[in-house]
Structure 1
Amino acid sequence: MSNINIRVAHEQDAEELHSIMQIAFTPLRELGIDWPSVHADLEMVKDNLRQNTTFVLENEKEIISTITVCYSWSSVKPISGYPFVWWFATRPTYDGQGYGSQLLKYVEETFLRDTLKAAAVTLGTSARLHPWLLNIYEKRGYEIYAKHENDDGDLGVIMRKILIPEQFNDAILGRPPF
């Protein structure tokens, strides 16, 4: 993992990010998962970049992995008072090499915990259509705190990871608006 850089994405990264999302989320589309990230067009990617903080992990030639941090003020009905991460994708040619884990760890620890002083982070995933992701997040310290049955028969779960235990507040975590 030499010559790796992590930075905040800019609007000029939109086309490359869109390409990564299209390639990385093909298996989820094939499973019938209907999330915004799975069906994102270029304008949705640009909106995501404008409204949130998107990080990229890159080498000297291309973006390898990306993840976005959303804030409670970005939505009329936020998932939580704590930041929510989504649009997490890695180029399939780099799968299994630890780049996604490296980026997620950076966002959790360096940005959310150490810079923003966020006591927790949340995310959403599928518990039925791709339960392997649920297991990966649980191994990284995430816990399910809300579940909802989707119209498509999937079980959506919202997970939390406490980053600063002595500052964590259940009232700030809140309940998702579903």
Structure 2
Amino acid sequence: MSEHIRQAGERDAPAVAELLHRAYEPIRALRLSWPAAKASVEDVRTNIVRNECYVLERDGAVAATLTHSLGGEVRDATGLPFVKWFAVEPLLQGSGIGSRLMEWVERSVLLGKHRAPAVTLATAERHPWLVAMYRRRGYETVLTYDPGNGDGQMHLMRKILDIDLYRRYILANPDDIAAKYERTRPAP
């Protein structure tokens, strides 16, 4: 079995859209209104062009995907990078490939290429296992909010990639939600 991680190109849009459709079936069943859950091939193509979309291929087939958003989903709350549209082929979930892709994007892209001190993502409280999964991966909830779209409470979560860079970031950005969280978090 061979695995390869690379940035997706427009030609990957059909395969990524099919993967998202299969992997996001539980999201649709929960009636969460996440764009990735109903993304068309054209939506995926637009995502690939506008953002940094990565795929993990196993034996030449797209088995997992994760997007580093270059848009403004959380720019009103934080200047930290935001990842979205994370999906793993359902038959391969639990095999570690999603963890390998996420770790690679965090280390090689966000910290290595962009020198990001931390990364953010958002997930729904009512999903039965995503909040716990991201916590196991080192993410902490820095903000809970209700977007008013029927999804209920959402968690904006943050993972520190480099503690020294992060400390400098929150000192330089006191109005960032990450800095506010650090000032108000309970002592360990």
TM-score (normalised: structure 1): 0.90
Question: Do residues 132 (structure 1) and 129 (structure 2) align?
Answer: yes
Task: Name the counterpart of 1:174.
Answer: 176
Paired residue type of 2:52: T
Question: Do residues 54 (structure 1) and 53 (structure 2) align?
Answer: yes
Distance of aligned partners of 1:77 and 1:89 in 2 relative to their CA distance in 1, 3 Å threshold: closer
Paired residue type of 1:104: M
Paired residue type of 2:6: R
Q: Gaps (5+ residues) in structure 1?
A: none
Alpha-carbon offset, residue 49 of structure 1: 0.4
RMSD: 1.9
Write the deviation string for residues 117-147 of structure 1: whole angstroms up to 9, x where unpaired.
Answer: 11010000011x2141101111111111111
Alpha-carbon offset, residue 61 of structure 1: 3.2
Distance of aligned partners of 1:173 and 1:122 in 2 relative to their CA distance in 1, 3 Å threshold: farther
Identity %: 34
Distance of aligned partners of 1:94 and 1:153 in 2 relative to their CA distance in 1, 3 Å threshold: closer
Question: Do residues 66 (structure 1) and 68 (structure 2) align?
Answer: no
Alpha-carbon offset, residue 70 of structure 1: 1.0
Asked if structure 2 preserves the Cα contact closer than 8 Å seen for 1:4 and 1:58, the reply is: yes
Asked if structure 2 preserves the Cα contact closer than 8 Å seen for 1:82 and 1:172, the reply is: no
Alpha-carbon offset, residue 153 of structure 1: 5.5
Aligned counterparts, 1:105-124, within 5 A: 105-124=103-122
Task: Name the counterpart of 2:183.
Answer: none
Cα distance in 1 for residues equivalent to 2:13 and 2:39: 11
Aligned counterparts, 1:78-117, within 5 A: 78=75, 80-117=78-115
Task: Name the counterpart of 1:31.
Answer: 30
Distance of aligned partners of 1:172 and 1:98 in 2 relative to their CA distance in 1, 3 Å threshold: farther
Alpha-carbon offset, residue 41 of structure 1: 1.3
Question: Do residues 141 (structure 1) and 138 (structure 2) align?
Answer: yes
**SS state of the match for residue 134, structure 2?**
helix
Asked if structure 1 preserves the Cα contact closer than 8 Å seen for 2:124 and 2:151, the reply is: no
Paired residue type of 1:115: K
Alpha-carbon offset, residue 80 of structure 1: 2.4
Cα distance in 2 for residues equivalent to 1:61 and 1:76: 32
Bigger Cα displacement from structure 2, 163-172 vs 85-94: 163-172
Determine which of 155, 158, 173 is the counterpart of 1:157: 155
**SS state of the match for residue 37, structure 1?**
helix
Give the number of equivalent residue pairs: 172
Cα distance in 1 for residues equivalent to 2:28 and 2:100: 25
Write the deviation string for residues 69-128 of structure 1: whole angstroms up to 9, x where unpaired.
Answer: 013xx238625211100000011111111100010010111211122211010000011x
Task: Name the counterpart of 1:40.
Answer: 39
Write the deviation string for residues 29-87 of structure 1: whole angstroms up to 9, x where unpaired.
Answer: 0101101111111111111001100010002231100000013xx23862521110000
Alpha-carbon offset, residue 15 of structure 1: 0.3
TM-score (normalised: structure 2): 0.85
Larger Rg, first or second structure (1 or 2): 2
Cα distance in 2 for residues equivalent to 1:112 and 1:75: 16
